Structure 1
Amino acid sequence: MKATDPHEPGPPVAAGLAIETRGLVKRFGHRAAVDGIDLSVPRGSVFGFLGPNGSGKTTTIRLLLGLATPNSGDISVLGREMPRALASVLPDVGALVEGPGFYPFLSGAGNLLRLDSADRHAPSATRRQRVHDALDRVGLSHAAGKKVRAYSLGMKQRLGLANAMLRPRELLVLDEPTNGLDPQGTREVRGLVRSLAAGGTTVFVSSHLLAEVEQMCTHVGVMSAGRLVAQGPLDELRSSGQAHVLIQTPDVERAARVLARLGLVPGEAPGPGSPREATALLGTGLNGVEPESIVAALVADGVRVRGFTVENASLEDRFVSLTGEGFDVVG
């Protein structure tokens, strides 16, 4: 990585991207926690950053925010080279990383007032109003005067979100933002993220909750063993997986033979004692065969088709196919 002057902002780069990395590497000893990733996060997107435990997600976030130094590679945040432009970029970035940390003996409002006063870019004249508004946005107005040591994990998480939004930000980086929240709180955070994105803020979300990512994010990046194995619009990532077909028919054995002729492998036929009307699942997907051709072949062979459904690959299917791992993890 070329030497940089930390006090010189440098020329703007990649104006269409909020975050861009090229060949980013971070090693701990002989192990590469981040192994040459090229990350592209469009401005105005809600970008879901996914990966198993130890895949390099949190290390990547720390590199983006200047909390760790890469061994090699280039980083651009909000169109400026990092870490050269650290001082000019970070005021426009709100972050919640690795869980919020606050003074337990101060109230929620007291913590935010103290943190905001430490920000030389924050206008003091509007401080109390901005703290009030931030607490209101995350549903903590009722607990503004309560000491943080009495806060639950979910309340501390909300307070961390409020801190990240004390001032208007171009970019929010949120590490597991719904951690510790109940279903209602999770829905509220989801709506909050959407409203921020609608207002032009780019939101970068590291999460292990697939359902939340699918409902919240417009773009996704998937990490595995320090490498970025996929990224792009969420719909494109899902559609790149194999679709499956569900066929409901009382003629399961005959349907299985038709599918085999088409080069498709059906799910298991019902065993002895099972109802005659059953569902056969093509576990290997369509494999390039048009659904219409399957229906025509079944009907031509006298198979009674009582239901036919094409199911696109889920985000979980794609994650497993890319990483070979399940998703009950945090990275």
Structure 2
Amino acid sequence: MTDLGARESHTGGMYSLAIETHGLVKRFGRRPAVDGIDLAVPRGSVFGFLGPNGSGKTTTIRLLLGLATANSGDISVLGKEMPRSLASVLPDVGALVEGPGFYPFLTGAGNLMRLDSADRHAPSSTRRQRVHDALDRVGLGHASGKKVRAYSLGMKQRLGLANAMLRPRELLVLDEPTNGLDPQGTREVRALVRSLAAGGTTVFVSSHLLAEVEQMCTHAGIMSAGRLVAQGPLDELRSSGESHVLIHTPDVGKAAGVLSRLGLVPGDATGTGIPGNEASGRDGTLTGTGLNGMAPEAIVAALVTGGVRVRGFTVENASLEERFVSLTGEGFDVAG
């Protein structure tokens, strides 16, 4: 895990991790929903909390925010022990968890005014302007006077985001923030998250949508059946997967033999250049896995020495999706 450095928090003290847990466990009956996770979220990061529905993501968030009590383990948020420091930490945390709930008979602006007035840390003198600014940031300025019962699901989701950003926050926790949004709204949320992180806010984004995490996050953690199976910078998670080569050649059979001699595992050939048809002169594509640090140029040299006519050669690093499947054995929703 990359250490992004320490700074002084609004609540006092120095910390390098915005969120940290050790051995965190939450059971419902005999079933562990969260099973001994050690989470480390660097301050200033956009951390994607990945996993299929039911993997323990929302339960973990509820534990972090003091909305549920752990059976065992330690939690630190913004450098302070939770839930002991709940009262001093939560004013610096904005959250959208399990979908927003609002008064349907009030307008969007009216709901935010009411919620902000319930926050004893929120200055009343700037309330109206802050509500106006928050609605504008999430693209609801035009609908601020409309009653929430007339809002679509996507508009309610935007209103929840606006509520989380009524005041400057050190940490923003977002549970499925693009739920119900159209493609344009999804892009706007991505841009908003990136702008918040650029301003120094740590953003913790829980999602089951792989594409969203890949496009907006700097770090990620992967949950499976209540366990944290991997975490770290996004690039490291990708690179720790297995890379493979793609060889474009009419000599697919020869290429497969060379790969085998090099200790690589040839995959299925595609195209017309299948083994036995080399005389046709038509190209096919062959994959090879198990590089184990072998230099691409060494593979190409071996192919040429072995009489393979190499017309294209590509090394493809493992995707985050492939890394997820290799760790959990499960499929993943990759829709945007």
Q: Equivalent residue for 2:54?
A: 54
CA offsets per residue over residues 86-140 of structure 1, 9 Å max, x none? Answer: 0111111000001111111111111101100111111111111000000000000
CA offsets per residue over residues 139-185 of structure 1, 9 Å max, x none? Answer: 00011011111111111110000000000000000001111111111
Tell me which of 304, 314, 327 is aligned to 1:322.
327
Q: CA deviation at 1:271?
A: 7.6
The amino acid across from 1:128 in the alignment is: R
Q: 1:178 & 1:285 partners in 2: Cα distance?
A: 37
CA offsets per residue over residues 238-291 of structure 1, 9 Å max, x none? Answer: 111111111100111111111111122222234879782111112x34234322
Q: CA deviation at 1:300?
A: 0.2
Alignment of 1:222-261 (within 5 A): 222-261=222-261
Q: CA deviation at 1:32?
A: 0.9
The amino acid across from 2:36 in the alignment is: G
- Residue 281 of structure 1 pairs with residue 281 of structure 2: no
- Residue 72 of structure 1 pairs with residue 72 of structure 2: yes
Tell me which of 306, 312, 318 is aligned to 2:317.
312
Q: How many residues align?
A: 319
- Contact 1:55–1:225 at 8 Å: present in 2 too? yes
Q: Equivalent residue for 1:211?
A: 211
- Contact 2:321–2:332 at 8 Å: present in 1 too? yes
- Contact 1:78–1:89 at 8 Å: present in 2 too? yes
Q: 1:306 & 1:272 partners in 2: Cα distance?
A: 14
Q: Equivalent residue for 1:265?
A: 265
Q: CA deviation at 1:54?
A: 1.7
- Contact 1:18–1:41 at 8 Å: present in 2 too? yes
What do you get for the CA RMSD once the two structures are aligned? Answer: 1.8
- Contact 1:105–1:147 at 8 Å: present in 2 too? yes
The amino acid across from 2:107 in the alignment is: S
Q: 2:44 & 2:89 partners in 1: Cα distance?
A: 17
Q: 2:195 & 2:272 partners in 1: Cα distance?
A: 54
Q: Equivalent residue for 1:83?
A: 83
- Contact 2:258–2:302 at 8 Å: present in 1 too? yes
CA offsets per residue over residues 12-63 of structure 1, 9 Å max, x none? Answer: 7771111011111101111111111111111111000001222111100000
Alignment of 1:165-244 (within 5 A): 165-244=165-244
Q: 1:21 & 1:273 partners in 2: Cα distance?
A: 53
Distance 1:13 1:314, change over 3 A: farther
Q: 1:272 & 1:317 partners in 2: Cα distance?
A: 27
Q: CA deviation at 1:225?
A: 1.3
The amino acid across from 2:197 in the alignment is: A
Q: Which runs of 5+ in 1 are unaligned?
A: 1-10
Alignment TM-score, normalising by the size of structure 1:
0.93
Q: CA deviation at 1:211?
A: 1.7
Determine helix, strand or coil for the equivalent of 1:61: helix
Q: Equivalent residue for 2:4?
A: none
Q: Which runs of 5+ in 2 are unaligned?
A: 1-10, 275-279
The amino acid across from 1:255 in the alignment is: A
Distance 1:188 1:259, change over 3 A: same
Farther off after superposition, 14-23 or 156-165: 14-23
Identity of aligned residues (%): 86
Q: 1:209 & 1:225 partners in 2: Cα distance?
A: 17
- Contact 1:12–1:81 at 8 Å: present in 2 too? no
Q: 1:271 & 1:319 partners in 2: Cα distance?
A: 29
The amino acid across from 1:313 in the alignment is: A
Q: 1:225 & 1:56 partners in 2: Cα distance?
A: 7
Distance 1:91 1:271, change over 3 A: closer
Distance 1:56 1:13, change over 3 A: farther
